[in-house]
């Protein structure tokens, strides 16, 4: 086990319903520390860059529309095995398949409006964190 950082986004469907604190409570209850956090409106360019890996997917346009439709909260989470730990805490991408107690089971509306994003590997976590935070904004 090692202390890792992962990148999280609380998505527009959750900020719209005033669920930032409720999501953060699940994160903190799971033993992850929020070591950086800011609320912002993503530009189309930022969303397209962030999700570039999905640009050939049929849902790409819908994904960019949604992620720029309202405020998001971008975060850096820190803890033991944080990347996989947060993926467990989020639950499956499609809330219909998400386990009880997970963020997506509790809050997500659909596979698109699924309340949170989390990095899928430590390598991608580093890339995603660097897109939104400079080093002195992260305080562990």
Residues lying near ligand CMP in the complex (CB under 6 A):
54, 59, 62-63, 93, 111-112, 114, 117
CA-based Rg of the chain, rounded to a whole angstrom?
14
CB of 35 to ligand CMP, least distance (A): 20
Query: Catalytic annotation on 54?
Result: no
From the candidates 117, 125, 128, 132, give the one annotated as an active-site residue.
117
Of 40 and 139, nearer to ligand CMP (C-beta) is 40
Contact status, residue 36 vs residue 139, Cβ threshold 8 Å: yes
| Concatenated DSSP letters of 22-67 | HHHHHHHHTT-EEEEEEEEPPPHHHHHHHTGGGTTSTTHHHHHHHH
Nearer Cβ to ligand CMP, position 38 or 57?
57
Nearer to ligand CMP, 52 or 135 (CB): 52
Give the burial string for 80-106 (b: 16+ CB within 10 Å, else e). Answer: ebbbebbbebbbbeebeebeeebbbbb
Q: How far is the CB of 59 from ligand CMP (least distance, A)?
A: 4
Nearest approach, Cβ of 126 to ligand CMP (angstroms)? 17
Residues with catalytic roles = 117
């Amino acid at each position: 086990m090692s202390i890792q950082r992962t990148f999280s986004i609380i998505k527009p469907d959750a900020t719209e319903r005033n669920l930032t604190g409720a999501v953060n409570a699940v994160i903190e209850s799971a033993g992850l520390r929020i070591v950086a956090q800011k609320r912002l409106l993503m530009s189309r360019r930022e969303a397209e860059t962030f999700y570039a890996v999905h640009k050939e997917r049929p849902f790409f346009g819908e994904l960019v529309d949604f992620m720029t439709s309202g405020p998001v909260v971008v975060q850096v989470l820190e803890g033991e095995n944080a990347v996989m730990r947060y993926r467990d805490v989020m639950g499956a991408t499609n809330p219909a398949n998400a386990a009880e107690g997970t963020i997506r089971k509790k809050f997500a509306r659909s596979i698109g409006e699924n309340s949170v994003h989390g990095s899928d590997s430590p390598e991608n976590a580093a890339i995603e964190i660097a897109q939104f935070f400079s080093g002195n904004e992260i305080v562990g």
